[in-house]
Structure 1
Amino acid sequence: MHTRWFLLVLIFLFQNPKAKEQPDIEGKYRDALTFFLSAEPTDLTDSLSIFLFSEIVSADDAENIDTKILVDSYEKLGSLSLIKGNLNDAVSYYRSGLEFQNEAKIPDSLFFGSNLFIGETYYLLGKADSSIYFLEEAEKLISLKNSKEEASRLFNSLGVIYFESGNYSQSINYFTKSKNLIIPDGAYQELEPYYKYALFSFLNNIGTSLYQLGKTDSALHIYSQLQDFGINENEVYSQLAKVYLKKAMPDSSLFYLQKIGLPEFVNSHSYQNQLAEIYLSQGLLDKAKSGLTKFLEETESPDPKITDFKLGKTYQILGKIAFEQNDFQNAANYYHQSIIQTDGFFAEEDIFKNPVDYSVGFATFSLVESLVGKAESFIKLYDSGKNNAHWQAGIATYQTAFDIAAHIGSFYDNDEARIFLGDFVLDAYQDAVETLITHSDSHDKLSLLTQALSWVESSKSTSLNMGMRENKLKKISGIPAALLQKERDLQFSISKIQQSILVENRQNELKLLQSQLTDRRLELSRLHNEFNDFPEYLSQKSINQSIDLKHIQESVLDKNTLLLSFFELDDRFLLFTMDQNEIKMTEIADKSQLASLVQEYQKGIIGYSAGEKYVSGGAGYKLYQMILGPIAEKMEQYDHLMVIPHGILVDLPLDSFEKSASEFLIADHAISYQYSVKLLESFEYQSFGDYLKAGFAPFYNNVWKDENINLPRLPYSREEINSLLGESFVREEATKQEFLNSVSEADIIQLSTHALPDPEDPNQAFIVFYPGDMESRLFTHEIYNLDMAESSLIFLSACETNFGSLSKSEGILGISRAFSFAGCPNIISTLWKAEDKATAYITSRFYAHVEEGLTFGEALRNAKLDLLNDQKMAQFHHPVFWAHLVLVGSVPATTYFDYLPVYLWIFALILLGFGFLFFKSRFAVKDVSK
């Protein structure tokens, strides 16, 4: 009571002019700041500062008050409301202050705090779009602030936002940047207490991001460090419990979770959800369910309209439990509630409805997971009751999950984050396709097969498709040339730093380079956010592009092309075939046997010994019978096979499969490959003489050797580039810079050189130019930044250019994919180490056939057949010498003349013949001597 009375007396003194003359505005402002900045703030000091700041902003003559004082007063009122948990009041105050932002003569830096704090407030309200907008506005002003502490707070907040939206790779960059700004060098024990707590927070955030990325060992390493800090041990135990649960070690997870003793921690959403997930993984369904339902009863919000995305996980776990108990109706209900809580804007209680506003939100992965769970529950309900409404709802909910994932992915600003998202969603695509296939007999089979193929191809190479699409949009969406040049400069800078890191051994220099790399990546991220300020670019890139299979059939595939699309399920493969008229599907049932044959085939190639004779009837023959045997009759109608592989089939050269004991598939078909139907387009072939051509042979008579690599001579490489009949760059002329100069000019480029893949880090794979040192290596991360949209073909006659790490959704992540990302429509690359002489032979014959007018696919096939039919090259007839070359490319463009029936050609020739005779008799020169 004493404190309350004292406060009222003070208020009275400020309000009553008879007690005391009203102080001027500046005096009030100084007093308000004094209370606000109190060394030991209390409810009293906060109340006094609120009272004084409120009087300032509500003064009758507010228009005469210094705008800087008004803006700061609104900001302080917002912060005090935030401290007291009045989030909506905080937003209102911050917005009032930001209304002055466009007034002249007010420094922009004054609005940094309001943008930062309102962004953080919107995060607490679960409004992702607004939070991201204001935090990015604050980021634009950070260069005007000379405060590492404020910058660190901003970057940490952005890290949280990127984390919550599922862009975990970028969140690590922001957390790292935030840490580097304020944490001094030196051992942890030497830090001041404030910096110890700050370092704990940053490392905890980074560890959580690594955990989400599935890098559990790296996360464990960080949490082991944090255990030694002796700070917030309960948080560390919770994180360790999460990691061990993800590693499928529920007993270890429970051990760490039960070490937590604080009641406020035990009674939190996080703890109860973790405990339920552990019980669920142990099969203790009733125990998991009872704990969560009791927790919900005790923490139920008094206002059912208020959503909390943290509760979304609770309802999702209840959905999983109900599904495991075959209680599919309740499972669907729980998942629906999870969607409402997680989305934040979707409030439809009708279980048959789904979100339609695909805005960027928090807990993206959790939202997609709940949608998929709801879809699976609907399908189970259909199976038990045959209610068609359940079937339609299940299919529609799957599609909503895929649409939301695609929309969110379009706003991610790096390939790694998109690949991770694509791999995550692939499991849902597999479930959805499995659902369609297993129900195809009870529904319109053609419709279901078409939908299945559409989902199959939508699941493949989503990141590559988005990246290529954005590269095209940047050129036509009104983004200024200066910003595009800035992007190229930053990408070049990032590449240079990455190269420097590879050769730097000094720890201090490495730390500096890593810090610079983080800075450049964040600067590039901010630039990409600026691109989103251009409406046409933003609207076009966020359009969800569905696959129009009818268009592919009618406008891309020609009558001589059969498309083969493979799709890996848990226990088997599906093979879809599509031509201009129909879509069909066959199943490759025994996946384990198929995997064994693939391994046997690859072992036979990799384990090849010089002089070893090819033995027919082995793995190559068995693979043909198992994979292609069921469609052999169908394939006979086509000259060209366009193959879209998946899973364990991604790096298999089908042309080396044996139709019979003595006949390879290449004898009947030209075969090319593509990453997804989404990337298919027809390609117009020019006359070979019209192409601008450039060939590079840096190791024709040059060698390079250092402590890391040995690059021998490639004596036949000069023969390869000479067969191109274009500009040739040999030895010291074949530099990286000459290649970069040629990229924007040449239609066809031949690289006859060395390449080294890096399955651990595909971005560090490289192609080598003269002389062979670090500066002459073209890394994959540099290739991604090239512009090859105007090129026609790049022939990578180098070892393992189509080899790298395997992504479930993207396929092989290597050099070949990088050239596709750069826009090159046709790439010939290698699956394994190439033999110089045989590859030179095929290359020479390839260009000869292109010069004759054949398509790239036909030319490559004929070049390989030339080798197989040339007895002088008999020692190179083993598939190891020719099957390594594969074409990833476009479908040959259909011409009108392809469709003319044979009799029309004959009729046309007859008319031409009669026309010639008529012309000769009518206009022949007469002999006047007779």
Structure 2
Amino acid sequence: MHLRWFLIFITLLFQNPPAGDSPDFAKKYQEAIAFFQAEEPTELTDSLARSLFLEIVSGSASNKIENWVLLDSYEKLGSLALIGGDLSTAVIHYRKGLELKNNQNILDSLFFGSNLFIGETYYLLSKADSSIYFLEEAEKLIPLKKSNEEASRLYNSLGVIYFESGNYTQAINYFNKSKNLIIPRESYDLLEPYYKYALFSFMNNIGTSLLQLGKTDSALHIYNNLLGFEINENQVYSQLSKIYLKKENPDSSLYFLDKIISPEYVNNHSYQNQLAEILLSKGKLDEAKTGLLEFLEKNGGMNQKVADFKLGKTFQILGKIAFQQKDFQNAVHYFHQSIIQTDGLFDNQDIFENPKEYSVGFATFSLVESLVGKAQSFIKLHEKEKKRAYWDAGLDTYQTAFDIASFVGNFYDNDEARIFLGDFVLEAYQEAVNTLLIHTDSEDEKTRIYKAIAWVEGSKSTSLNIGMREKKLKKISGIPIALLQKESDLQFSISKIQQRILNENKEEELMALQSELTDSRLELSRLHKEFNDFPEFVAQKTKNQSIDLNYIQESILDKNTLLLSFFELKDRVLLFTLDQDEILVTEIGDKETLEGKILEFKKGIIGYEAGEKYEFGGAGNVLFEKILGPVSDKLDEYDHLMVIPHGILADLPFDSFESSPSKFLIFDHSVSYQLSLKLLESFESRDFEDEVKTGFAPFYDNSWKDENINLTQLPYSKDEINSLHGKSFISSEGTKRNFLETASGSEVIHLSTHALPDPNDPQQAFITFFPGDIESRLFTHEIYNLDLSESALIFLSACETNFGSLSKSEGILSISRAFAFAGCPNIISALWKAEDKSTAYITDRFYSHVENGLSYAEALREAKKDLLEDEKMAQFHHPVFWAHLVLVGSIPAKTYFDYLPVYLWIFAFILLGFGYLLVKNRFSNMSHSG
């Protein structure tokens, strides 16, 4: 009844009299509308309306009817079919109406309803691509509409689409927008019945999205409130059951599910799947399996001819049950059926086949989960039966899961959603890598290791990689400058609203700002959809980004660099070493023991107390032995170590490890870092003297303090930027405005200032400029929008710029990462709070060494060594004063001489020797002749 009411409501709002039509057809149209809008509709009134509308669209005089009447008649026929559950017929009628689009006599706005309804119908048919297409067509017509009710319904439908594709963050924005359009800011008790139901629906959708994001407490709060609505309590109980299942409390989950007694609710997929998941978590495998199979048999699900992504979950649970029962053959078949039902386009019954064509479809997360389950089942079959076909199928299915996740991530329009997807898929990468390395008899060693490291690096920093690549592609893919400027303006507007929210205390104003923020984010989302209308942009951003290890070894790594890539499995940590000749893998210990030593090491450094002397031979030496000891012989061959950390190793200063009980690693090697091999590239060194250099020291002789923050004076910050020998912005000149005006034109930027990380919300971390108030703070979300692609180096001499929350796949979500996102290839930042004087000393020496031709990594190493070897700075020799500065950057481009083979070097030395002898003989002869 709710669907019918809404369709009738829209008709009443936008119905126009059929002026100019023949009297007979005008009368028929009016009669048809009357039956369609009957106060108490029945099958008879629907049948009469359907007959009259069919006469109108198919009658001999239909060509004399105004086209908008034909359009409306097709729309009503589609809606009647939709109400009656005949979805295929509904699509036919809606399409017939939309075929009139090229008619010049119909206002574009009148096509809104047909686009909206056909989009929703395709959703019910599990046709993701078609659903998305028509809903986005409807969205383009929103500016022509004046109805909040219609817009609200569209935004809610788009929210559902985003939810089903796994972009839960954007889904919440759409649900909030939909709610804000039609729900006034008054108490629930004062709302009309329809709006009470609508508010319930919106809050339920938001709560479901929060649950999927793992924010169970926020979701629980919403559903406890919804219980008081006394609307659709079965839905509330179902969601409360899911929350407690997510919290791994199956008894409480079952308690709420048992409160549902409605036969209509109990006899559907959602309830049966939920019950089976609870039983599965309680170890009652047979009971869960029997219940699902009986339900499928009763409802014809075992012989389903048309794909239904809701059934995909049922087969997925059956696959999990079979896997736990070690029935791997059936597990493969169940997971394969789940893939078929979930994907919607793939229908090959051959279990050795997987989807090859990818789209942004429904239930992305569920599809990836089923593919991983199928891959694991194949591997178990291989272990059991030793058949090569199972091994190959397992690896191929893993790769398909990773490819689909990567493809879908490219179409997500925000960093948070991409990070969430990356974290979700990481566990599958861990399983896949572990599979490769433990099955030593299934593949030759080199193939296994190369495949393993490709997966390892494919799992890291996926969102950062996508964001950086998109920034570059937008400039070269034919997207008009006007659209790019609009994007920039919207991003700036969003940043300003976010700042106003931070500074606002009034509840009413906060609500208004939140609504404005949602509107701007959705407008930006629509703009990004326009970017996808440019084929070259889409083709390039979805292009396979496989890692070319041979290219990295041959063209990027130099003979002095050893690359160390770490990967955290569930129970242990792996180390891959890469040089120009080979890739090796080493297990460096169990995760739990290593984690304890890392914590001890950090406490020993960051917990420094004034006057404390560093004691060698402790945790720093233990960590070296555990993490680098297994490859210590190989380390001796290289001057430079490029570290790609992961997991618990993400924020470790490797150069402060002790290579012996009395010596820091920094005396043996320069150390730099990178986030993934995907981001590794060679960096063409430039003439430092000629580069545009800009420094900021806003707190050289002033401070800022309010009830929330205390920004102290930094008296040595002026010395830091003076050593840069570039343009300096000191004290009151060190403003945010001056930074924004000069940043894109500067090749080296040094920021000697204060920063404040925000592990709870990385978007709100910031760097401060003069004077220090909220308007002078540069937030992470603003840094993302900068264009620093022309820069060579950013030196963030500010506290904790490389500190933040830890994403399992993305690494540290820090201010430093934001500058990388903006396009800078080399960034020096701080792991913890910096000491002003020692940092100024290192900075001065660093720039001096760079001016003398050293690479950034070598210069930072030499600067730290200068500090450690300077007796006048003895009070700053503890690692707390120098190990905080880390370089995340590229490897200097090879020179011509790096490419010379060994035999050419030998030949060159021989020629040099002959030349020396010839010169010596000539001078000797000249001497004798004199």
TM-score tier by shorter-chain length is over 0.9
- Residues 270-309 of structure 1: pairs in structure 2 closer than 5 A: 270-301=270-301, 304-309=304-309
Amino acid at match of 1:550: N
Shift of 1:72: 1.2
State the partner residue of 2:215: 215
Shift of 1:448: 0.5
State the partner residue of 1:584: 584
* Cα contact 2:67–2:105 (8 A) shared by 1: no
* Cα contact 1:801–1:831 (8 A) shared by 2: yes
Query: Cα deviation per residue 1:663-704 (whole Å; 9 max; x = unaligned)?
Result: 111111111111100000000001111211000000111111
State the partner residue of 2:928: none
| Residues 629 and 104 of structure 1: CA distance in aligned 2, closer, same or farther (over 3 Å) | same
CA–CA separation in structure 1 for the residues paired with 2:50 and 2:804:
61
Amino acid at match of 1:525: S
State the SS of the aligned residue for 2:838.
helix
* Cα contact 1:572–1:587 (8 A) shared by 2: yes
CA–CA separation in structure 1 for the residues paired with 2:538 and 2:103:
28
CA–CA separation in structure 2 for the residues paired with 1:865 and 1:527:
51
* Cα contact 1:440–1:449 (8 A) shared by 2: no
State the partner residue of 2:506: 506
| Residues 794 and 908 of structure 1: CA distance in aligned 2, closer, same or farther (over 3 Å) | farther
State the partner residue of 1:805: 805
* Cα contact 1:338–1:370 (8 A) shared by 2: yes
State the partner residue of 1:87: 87
Amino acid at match of 1:237: Y
Query: Cα deviation per residue 1:859-878 (whole Å; 9 max; x = unaligned)?
Result: 11111111111111111111
* Cα contact 2:589–2:626 (8 A) shared by 1: no
Shift of 1:652: 0.1
State the partner residue of 2:358: 358
State the partner residue of 2:515: 515
| Residues 838 and 915 of structure 1: CA distance in aligned 2, closer, same or farther (over 3 Å) | farther
State the partner residue of 2:751: 751
| Residues 656 and 22 of structure 1: CA distance in aligned 2, closer, same or farther (over 3 Å) | closer
State the partner residue of 2:651: 651
State the partner residue of 1:398: 398
State the partner residue of 1:631: 631
Q: Where do 5+ consecutive residues of structure 2 fail to align?
A: 1-20, 925-930
CA–CA separation in structure 2 for the residues paired with 1:702 and 1:797:
17
Query: Cα deviation per residue 1:379-415 (whole Å; 9 max; x = unaligned)?
Result: 0000011000000000000001001111111111110
CA–CA separation in structure 2 for the residues paired with 1:891 and 1:345:
44
Query: Cα deviation per residue 1:813-866 (whole Å; 9 max; x = unaligned)?
Result: 010000111110000000000000000011111111110111111111111111
State the SS of the aligned residue for 1:286.
helix
Shift of 1:589: 2.3
- Residues 1-16 of structure 1: pairs in structure 2 closer than 5 A: none
CA–CA separation in structure 1 for the residues paired with 2:151 and 2:545:
38
Query: Cα deviation per residue 1:80-138 (whole Å; 9 max; x = unaligned)?
Result: 11111111111111111112223324321011111101100100000111101110110
Query: Cα deviation per residue 1:123-175 (whole Å; 9 max; x = unaligned)?
Result: 00001111011101101101111000000000000000000010000000000
CA–CA separation in structure 2 for the residues paired with 1:620 and 1:136:
56
- Residues 208-247 of structure 1: pairs in structure 2 closer than 5 A: 208-247=208-247
- Residues 717-732 of structure 1: pairs in structure 2 closer than 5 A: 717-732=717-732
- TM-score, with normalisation over the residues of structure 2? 0.95
CA–CA separation in structure 2 for the residues paired with 1:22 and 1:156:
39
State the partner residue of 1:887: 887
Residues 1:197 and 2:197 are matched in the alignment: yes
State the partner residue of 1:256: 256
Query: Cα deviation per residue 1:9-52 (whole Å; 9 max; x = unaligned)?
Result: xxxxxxxxxxxx99532222222222222222222222222112
CA–CA separation in structure 2 for the residues paired with 1:690 and 1:67:
69
Shift of 1:916: 9.2
State the partner residue of 2:127: 127
CA–CA separation in structure 1 for the residues paired with 2:423 and 2:125:
30
CA–CA separation in structure 2 for the residues paired with 1:920 and 1:185:
99
Shift of 1:907: 5.5
Q: In terms of mean alpha carbon deviation, does 157-166 or 96-105 score higher?
A: 96-105
State the partner residue of 1:734: 734
State the partner residue of 1:493: 493
| Residues 792 and 302 of structure 1: CA distance in aligned 2, closer, same or farther (over 3 Å) | closer
Query: Cα deviation per residue 1:629-668 (whole Å; 9 max; x = unaligned)?
Result: 0101111111111110000000001000001111111111
State the partner residue of 1:335: 335
State the partner residue of 2:447: 447
Report sequence identity in percent.
70
Residues 1:420 and 2:443 are matched in the alignment: no
Residues 1:43 and 2:53 are matched in the alignment: no
State the SS of the aligned residue for 2:100.
coil
State the partner residue of 1:54: 54
CA–CA separation in structure 2 for the residues paired with 1:101 and 1:469:
37
CA–CA separation in structure 2 for the residues paired with 1:441 and 1:53:
70
CA–CA separation in structure 2 for the residues paired with 1:61 and 1:265:
47
CA–CA separation in structure 2 for the residues paired with 1:545 and 1:345:
24
CA–CA separation in structure 2 for the residues paired with 1:273 and 1:302:
15
Residues 1:672 and 2:672 are matched in the alignment: yes
State the partner residue of 2:681: 681
CA–CA separation in structure 2 for the residues paired with 1:799 and 1:719:
17
* Cα contact 2:788–2:824 (8 A) shared by 1: yes
State the partner residue of 1:779: 779
CA–CA separation in structure 2 for the residues paired with 1:122 and 1:917:
89
| Residues 918 and 690 of structure 1: CA distance in aligned 2, closer, same or farther (over 3 Å) | farther
Shift of 1:335: 0.6
State the partner residue of 2:554: 554
CA–CA separation in structure 2 for the residues paired with 1:30 and 1:529:
40
- Residues 63-102 of structure 1: pairs in structure 2 closer than 5 A: 63-102=63-102
CA–CA separation in structure 1 for the residues paired with 2:627 and 2:246:
35
CA–CA separation in structure 2 for the residues paired with 1:684 and 1:789:
13
| Residues 854 and 47 of structure 1: CA distance in aligned 2, closer, same or farther (over 3 Å) | same
Shift of 1:790: 1.0
State the partner residue of 1:704: 704
State the partner residue of 2:18: none
Amino acid at match of 1:680: L
* Cα contact 2:167–2:417 (8 A) shared by 1: yes
State the SS of the aligned residue for 2:228.
helix
Amino acid at match of 1:652: L
Q: How many residues align?
A: 902
State the partner residue of 1:265: 265
CA–CA separation in structure 2 for the residues paired with 1:585 and 1:635:
14
Amino acid at match of 1:731: S
Shift of 1:62: 3.2
Amino acid at match of 1:544: N
Amino acid at match of 1:249: N
Amino acid at match of 1:38: A
CA–CA separation in structure 1 for the residues paired with 2:250 and 2:296:
23
| Residues 613 and 78 of structure 1: CA distance in aligned 2, closer, same or farther (over 3 Å) | same
CA–CA separation in structure 2 for the residues paired with 1:916 and 1:531:
67
- TM-score, with normalisation over the residues of structure 1? 0.95
State the partner residue of 2:868: 868
Amino acid at match of 1:98: L
Shift of 1:915: 10
CA–CA separation in structure 2 for the residues paired with 1:556 and 1:791:
20
Amino acid at match of 1:42: T
* Cα contact 2:301–2:311 (8 A) shared by 1: no
Shift of 1:302: 9.0
Superposition CA RMSD, Å: 1.8
| Residues 920 and 496 of structure 1: CA distance in aligned 2, closer, same or farther (over 3 Å) | farther
Query: Cα deviation per residue 1:65-84 (whole Å; 9 max; x = unaligned)?
Result: 21111111111111111111
Shift of 1:592: 1.3
State the SS of the aligned residue for 2:261.
coil
CA–CA separation in structure 1 for the residues paired with 2:350 and 2:302:
21
Amino acid at match of 1:230: E
* Cα contact 2:586–2:630 (8 A) shared by 1: yes
State the SS of the aligned residue for 1:749.
strand
| Residues 182 and 574 of structure 1: CA distance in aligned 2, closer, same or farther (over 3 Å) | same
Amino acid at match of 1:51: S
State the partner residue of 2:183: 183
Query: Cα deviation per residue 1:187-229 (whole Å; 9 max; x = unaligned)?
Result: 1111111111111100000000000000000000000000111
